Amino acid sequence: MEGMVAAAEVAADLAGAVIRPLFRSALLVEAKGDASPVTEADRAAERAIRDHLARTLPDHGVIGEEYGPDRPDAEWVWVLDPIDGTRAFITGRPLFGTLIGLFHRGRPVLGLIDQPATGERWIGVEGRPTAFRGPLGGMVGCRPCPDVAQAELSCTSPDMFPPGQDEGFQALRTAARRTTWGGDCYAYGLMALGLVDIVVEAAMKPWDWGALVPVLEGAGGRVTDHAGRPLTLESPGDVLAVGDPALLPACIALLSA
């Protein structure tokens, strides 16, 4: 596993070298089929990661947001989101990140969250404590918070839960102490530092959550779907993350409202 961690770190370094010069610069923005923004930074960063993995671990598969799957049925599969939070990136907010996850036989076993602008990096490996480094400080460890009423809830956007399909989310939001919008993958990193208690999202793709599972679970948290089931490549895209596993039953009950 050490060689794979090293490969992930080099891949993140290469992606960051592409992304940083383009951050807060004039970018050519297009619209994807799903109308989300995409920039030359997304594509160039994913190419840099893929090229490195192809040289270093040629037997591994890759699933990436920008360039799709390559041998997705391999025993080891990398799942990549070169810029998670593109809207934050193109508006100059350092709430985006590069996500590099590794699945073994369909299960996430390694995850890396990298924030190229702030120099922060989280590394999670199944069965190990999560590691964090960065100039802004912080200590790894999800904080105890067994009561939803005392919990800080985060969600990237209320648009994830359209009217008529948001009853469960609104019930959880009402029960929580406070809700913060935005953050994308950065919110999960903050949960691993004990600053956020619950993240609830929907319409997530494997590259949106694959790297997050080992990071959060190595910090003491849990990541499931809205019904409490483990996430897999076949999961429908609803994600529930809690810093304190004691929150999980109450969150599931509220989301099922």
Check whether residue 7 and residue 101 sit in a common domain.
Answer: yes
Domain count along the chain: 2
CATH of the domain at 58: 3.30.540.10
CA distance 140 to 187: 14
Confidence of residue 115 (pLDDT cuts 50, 70, 90): very high
227 and 124 belong to one structural domain? no
Q: How does pLDDT run across 69-102, given as a tens digit for each residue?
A: 999 999 999 999 999 998 899 889 999 999 999 9
pLDDT of residue 241: 98
Domain of 189 in residue numbering reads as 148-255
Digit-coded pLDDT (tens) for 150-168: 999 999 998 898 887 799 9
CB neighbours of residue 131 within 10 Å:
16
Share of the chain above pLDDT 70, in %: 96
Rounded to the nearest integer, the mean pLDDT of the chain is: 94
What is the per-residue pLDDT for 1? 87
Structure tokens at 66: 């920008």
Instruction: List the single range of 15-24, 27-36, 154-163 with lowest mean pLDDT.
Output: 27-36
Q: Are residues 80 and 152 in the same domain?
A: no
pLDDT, position 164: 78
Give the number of other Cβ atoms within 10 Å of residue 250's Cβ.
18
Neighbour count for residue 134 (Cβ, 10 Å): 15
Q: Which residue has the higher pLDDT, 257 or 193?
A: 193
Q: Is residue 95 within 8 Å of 113, Cβ to Cβ?
A: no
